[in-house]
Chains A and B, each alone.
Chain A
């Protein structure tokens, strides 16, 4: 039956199909990500996405002819999508980020616009934000981003009901914490909830211990790539203390398979299985969503990480995700409009009010009054004061470091928590990643 079709017709048909196929491959690549052709903003989905959307609409209304478009993505896919767009030299005009090492690498590749000159021209804009937060986007005097969300310091959350039952107070010093661990352990509880399967949860302990013991300079040396900087005594001592915690059963036996993404770490706290957890301030909104009664009945307690007597670091310092930032692409044809949008609309009064409404605490000066009228104002004010008074707000190390060092850090830290490596081995392995 094959012979019935004239050969020429067949070849033409096949050539056509092949051409279509190849053409389809060809056009999938270098098209612009936007649909309307106007300036494009990329952000990450989450509780505040309506705030971003509203600000875009307000800007578009007050600036006829400038039609910004916002696209929001899931967190993890977004990071890869942005990187691919950056690698292809084709990023959106405005993009969402976390500051730190990844932003620095985009800036070094010439993809991010330096906002320092514009900030200098407008002192009101420049002084609007907390300086300790702006450090996350400042490299060599150049500023590559503007805060657009709430701050996320790491906080010690505790279950007030369990603390009352056992007649104890939240820990103020490391010794208090150790005593609490012994007490709760003998009561059959897992003293501290820790979602080890997520790995970055381990890092919060390491960051605070090193910060309290050795101060900010210890990690700054690591960031600067100083040879042997992971062997600083603060690391050895912090990691020894971590081993002591694990060996004392502070995190229970099952922490290696507890996962943060499925909400288990917070669940251990509000179901009364664990009296304490160390977590970013966003956990408040998570608990408010999954167990609102726990917060409404006043059972959720929060305090800063305990002081370590004899440590060099200021006990007022905090670690965490400073905030999220909008950055402007260097090669964007809409650069001036993008800067105008950041300056006039992001973090204006309406924007700040809306953020506070969804439980965010923006790194903006002088909003105490706004916070005191909000729902859950005691918590919001606690976060605001904590970060405002912090001489140093250390960006999470996995964000601050370049990606390959961050990955090595999480891997080695996990080995330490699981008892597969010693503090000395940790320092040695990490020194090998410095460059």
Chain B
């Protein structure tokens, strides 16, 4: 008996073992593998810094990094703006809002592969619903080569990724908005604050930590995002949507250059860790001051 309160550290062991075997150990192996050349068949051979030298020069990978950053920032802007407003809206108690809320959350029920295939077909320039609607209404703007045009493909992908994840973040914001004490709003209306003023001075500041959570999830999530892009474009046209995780996959499982793919994986892991640490630090998430009344 140590006199510490709380459960024994031993209770951590199963979870720690699980995490160690399935997360830490593979990461360590990947870090080691990044100094080897390995085709997945023969014995890995030591190549020193070759993979890293290639990483420093490979223009396709550099473009992939840039695309990943672009996807990250644009996804954050799109998803935060839409889900914040939607979340605050469906947090209201009216019946119509509850119905709309249920409809908005539908995409959350679908798998990424299903969403990818569905959108790919909707957006198809020859047989897609969007193009056909464009024809029927005489709206030429709808009849674009959404996933095949170099200038459009990335934005189309960001839109569909947003469509998939906005419901989840809407749920977060909805729950958080409902937690805000009504008394704050009542006091504000007595002081003569309008709805907009209330949203800006009460709702937004109260949602601060939800925003940090949601932002972390969006940024780290879009950094490592893979499935939907793989299904919809496989990185095409050309390399226009070849984001970093896809670049890693292609190098690893299409070219069978596991060493180089491991180097990319190490960069992804480090980037992801740095990003979440930075967010936690910047947002003051560690201090976790309560903003509830009376605290």
Residues of A near any B CB (own CB < 8 A):
2-3, 7, 10-11, 14-15, 17-18, 21-22, 25, 80, 83-84, 86-87, 105-106, 109, 196-197, 199, 253-259, 262, 264, 267-268, 273, 403-404, 407-408, 411, 414-415, 418, 420
B8 beta carbon closer than 8 Å to chain A = yes
- Write out, one digit per residue, whether chain B residues 115-130 have a CB within 8 A of any chain A CB (1) or not (0): 0010011011111000
* Complex contact A83–B256 (CB within 8 A): yes
* Complex contact B146–A418 (CB within 8 A): no
* Complex contact B21–A14 (CB within 8 A): no
List B contacts of A3 (CB < 8 A).
Answer: 1
List A contacts of B13 (CB < 8 A).
Answer: 14-15, 18
* Complex contact B237–A257 (CB within 8 A): yes
B17 beta carbon closer than 8 Å to chain A = yes
A11→B12 CA distance, assembly (Å) = 11
Which stretch from B39-47, B87-95, B184-192, B211-219 is at the chain A interface? B39-47
* Complex contact B41–A109 (CB within 8 A): yes
* Complex contact A420–B238 (CB within 8 A): yes
List A contacts of B21 (CB < 8 A).
Answer: 21-22, 25
* Complex contact B126–A14 (CB within 8 A): no
List A contacts of B18 (CB < 8 A).
Answer: 21
B110 beta carbon closer than 8 Å to chain A = no
B147 beta carbon closer than 8 Å to chain A = yes
A106, A259, A407: which contacts B41 (Cβ < 8 A)? A106
* Complex contact B17–A87 (CB within 8 A): no
List A contacts of B257 (CB < 8 A).
Answer: 404
B242 to chain A: closest residue by CB: A411
List B contacts of A414 (CB < 8 A).
Answer: 236-238
What 6 pairs between A and B have smallest CB-CB spacing?
A257-B148, A256-B148, A254-B125, A404-B255, A256-B237, A407-B255
List A contacts of B117 (CB < 8 A).
Answer: 262
Interface of B, secondary structure class, is loop
B7 to chain A: closest residue by CB: A2
* Complex contact B238–A18 (CB within 8 A): no
A268→B153 CA distance, assembly (Å) = 22
List A contacts of B121 (CB < 8 A).
Answer: 262
A326→B149 CA distance, assembly (Å) = 41
Smallest Cβ distance from B74 to chain A, in angstroms?
A: 20
* Complex contact A11–B10 (CB within 8 A): yes
Smallest Cβ distance from A268 to chain B, in angstroms?
A: 6
B6, B42, B234: which contacts A2 (Cβ < 8 A)? B6
Residues of B near any A CB (own CB < 8 A):
1, 6-8, 10-11, 13-14, 17-18, 21, 39-42, 60, 117, 120-121, 123-127, 145-150, 153, 233-234, 236-239, 250, 253-257
A175→B255 CA distance, assembly (Å) = 37
A76 to chain B: closest residue by CB: B253
* Complex contact A7–B237 (CB within 8 A): no
Say whether, besides A83-B40, A253-B145, A254-B145, A2 and B14 are in contact (CB < 8 Å): no
Smallest Cβ distance from A346 to chain B, in angstroms?
A: 26
List B contacts of A21 (CB < 8 A).
Answer: 14, 17-18, 21
Smallest Cβ distance from A73 to chain B, in angstroms?
A: 16
* Complex contact A268–B126 (CB within 8 A): yes
A87, A197, A268, A408: which contacts B236 (Cβ < 8 A)? A197
Smallest Cβ distance from A329 to chain B, in angstroms?
A: 14
Interface of A, secondary structure class, is helix
B239 to chain A: closest residue by CB: A411
Smallest Cβ distance from A224 to chain B, in angstroms?
A: 20
5 new A-B contacts, CB < 8 A, other than A109-B41, A197-B237, A262-B121, are A22-B17, A105-B39, A257-B147, A273-B126, A411-B239
A229→B291 CA distance, assembly (Å) = 70
* Complex contact B250–A256 (CB within 8 A): no
B41, B120, B238: which contacts A83 (Cβ < 8 A)? B41
A25→B145 CA distance, assembly (Å) = 47
A20 to chain B: closest residue by CB: B14
Smallest Cβ distance from A269 to chain B, in angstroms?
A: 11
A254→B148 CA distance, assembly (Å) = 7
* Complex contact B14–A17 (CB within 8 A): yes
Smallest Cβ distance from B9 to chain A, in angstroms?
A: 10
Smallest Cβ distance from B29 to chain A, in angstroms?
A: 14
B237 to chain A: closest residue by CB: A256
Among B39, B40, B150, B237: residue with most chain A CB under 10 A = B237
A3 to chain B: closest residue by CB: B1
A264→B145 CA distance, assembly (Å) = 14
A59→B279 CA distance, assembly (Å) = 64
A376→B167 CA distance, assembly (Å) = 52
A258 to chain B: closest residue by CB: B126
List B contacts of A254 (CB < 8 A).
Answer: 125-126, 145, 148
Say whether, besides A18-B14, A258-B126, A197 and B255 are in contact (CB < 8 Å): no
Say whether, besides A255-B148, A403-B254, A418 and B40 are in contact (CB < 8 Å): no
* Complex contact B145–A257 (CB within 8 A): yes
Smallest Cβ distance from B286 to chain A, in angstroms?
A: 27
Smallest Cβ distance from A374 to chain B, in angstroms?
A: 32
List A contacts of B234 (CB < 8 A).
Answer: 197, 199
List B contacts of A18 (CB < 8 A).
Answer: 13-14, 17
* Complex contact B41–A80 (CB within 8 A): no
A267 to chain B: closest residue by CB: B127
A253→B257 CA distance, assembly (Å) = 34
Smallest Cβ distance from B253 to chain A, in angstroms?
A: 6
A268→B126 CA distance, assembly (Å) = 8
List B contacts of A256 (CB < 8 A).
Answer: 145, 148-150, 236-237
